[in-house]
Amino acid sequence: MAKKIAISIPKGGVGKTTTAVNLAAGFAIAEKKTLLIDFDPAGACAVSLGFNEANMHGDIFQVFSFTKYIDAVVHKTKLPYLDFIPCQINTYDLEERINRLSRNINLFSNILDQQALTDYDYIIIDCPPYMKGLTTVALAAADSVLIPLRAGQFSVAALKKMFSQIEWVKTTINSELRIEGILLNMYEPRTKAWALTIKALSKYFREYLFESVIPKSIAISEAEFYGKPSMLHDMKSKGAIAYLKLTTEILKTSGVSEKIWEERNDGFSSLEINGKEFAHFHNDNEIDVRLTNKVIKQNNLNHPVNSEKHPNRSDNSPWIELKFHNQKDVKKIYSLVNQLLAD
C-alpha cells in the first residue's frame, strides 16, 4: 500500500510544485516506485518534468469525470521509478466542472484504492494554493501533509489556516491524516525575514519542522526551465542535495533506514541508491562512481582518459575513479552521473 503525501498550503509562491517534483524524484532515485499527481489547475508539474500538450495523453480531470481509467493517464518520466499524472484544466469551464466533481469528498480516495496503483511505494499529490475543492479531496485521501513555507508573515498566517483545515479534515473526514512536517523553502539563513519567521514558528510549530531545509538555489530554477528535477540537472547543487536529504529524512520516519545523500566525516559526500553506494564526491576535481558493465561500454569507459579502476573496491560492481584537471571535464562527469540516475 502506497504512502500518500499531499503537498499543501493556502498560499502561492512557496515552492509547493518544486517540492512535489523534487521529493517524488528523490523517492524514485532511492528506487521507490513513485506516482506524482498534479492537482493544481496551473499544471506546473508537467512543465517541471518536460511535458507539454503535445506529449500528454490524458489527465486527472478525465479520471474524475470517468472518461478514462487512471492507468490510461499515467505518464512515464525520465526516471524509471517515477510516474506522473498531469492536470490539464486550462479553461474556466473545466475548472468549474472539476470543482463540482470534487464535492464528492471520497471520490479520490476510491480512485487511489484501484488495483492499478497497488505497486507504488509513494504517491505525491501537488495541491492548489487554496483550501476548498481539490485540496480538501486530496487531504481526505492522504496519509500525511507536507507543508512548504518561505519567509514572511503571510506564510505564517497561511500555515495557521492550514493547521485549522487539517484539524477539520481529521475531525470530519480522515481521522488518520497526520502532518508529515513543515519544510523551510528558499531558505536564506542570514536574513532578518527568516530570523523573524523562525522565531514565529518556534513558538507554536517547532515540533513539526523538518531538520532538512531547502536553500534558495538558482540551480533549482534552472532545472525547471530544462524540464527536469534538480537532481537530473545538477546533482551536486545545494538544492538537489537538500531534496535528497529531505527524502532520506522522510524515508527514515517511514521506517526505511536508507541514506541517499550523506556528508561524511572524511570529507567525502556519498550518494546511495537502494542501500548501495553509487558515487563519492571528494572535491570539485575528484569523484568515484559505481558503474555497471553496460554503462562502461555505452560511454566508452573501458580505458577512459584520466581514470582508472578504483584500487580499494573489492565488490562485484566496478568503480571508476575519475580525476579531472579542467572545468570542462568536471561538467562532463557530473552530466554523466545525472544521466546514470535517469538510466
Residue 304's pLDDT is what? 42
Residue with cell 484501484: 114
Share of the chain above pLDDT 70, in %: 73
pTM, two decimals, is: 0.78
DSSP for 269-296, written as a single string: EEEEETTEEEEEEEETTEEEEE--HHHH
In a domain, 301, yes or no: yes
Question: Does some domain include residue 37?
Answer: yes
The answer as to whether 176 is a domain residue is: yes
pLDDT computed for residue 117 by the predictor: 83
Tell me the average pLDDT across 83-96. Answer: 82
Is residue 311 domain-resident? yes
Same domain, 312 and 289: yes
Inside any domain, residue 263: no
Segments forming the whole domain that contains residue 55? 3-258
Q: Is the pLDDT of residue 113 over 60?
A: yes
Per 3-state DSSP, the chain is made up of helix, strand and coil in percentages (nearest 5) of 40, 20, 40
Is there a single domain that holds both residue 282 and residue 230?
Answer: no
Q: Is residue 18 part of a domain?
A: yes
Q: Each residue of 170-198: pLDDT tens digit?
A: 999 999 999 999 999 999 988 999 999 99
Q: Residue 137 above 60 pLDDT?
A: yes
Do 84 and 126 lie in one domain? The reply is yes
Beta bridge pairs of residue 36? 84, 124
Assess if residue 223 is contained within a domain: yes
Supply the angle between the helices 192-204 and 153-172 in degrees, to the nearest 10.
30
Strands 261-263 and 276-283: unpaired
Can you give the pLDDT at residue 305?
Answer: 36
Out of 226, 258, 290, pick the residue that ends a domain: 258
Run of H or E including 45:
helix 44-48
State whether 253 and 323 are in the same domain: no
Give me 43's grid cell: 499544471
Query: Looking at the structure, do residues 68 and 195 belong to the same domain, yes or no?
Result: yes
Domain count, the chain: 2
118 and 189 housed in the same domain:
yes
Question: Do 152 and 210 belong together in one domain?
Answer: yes
**CA dihedral over 60, 120, 179, 208, signed as positive or negative:** negative
Q: Are residues 241 and 198 in the same domain?
A: yes
- Same domain flag for 223 and 281: no
**pLDDT in the model for residue 93:** 78
Cα separation, 302 vs 176, whole angstroms: 53
pLDDT at 149 over 80: yes
Both 56 and 112 in one domain: the answer is yes
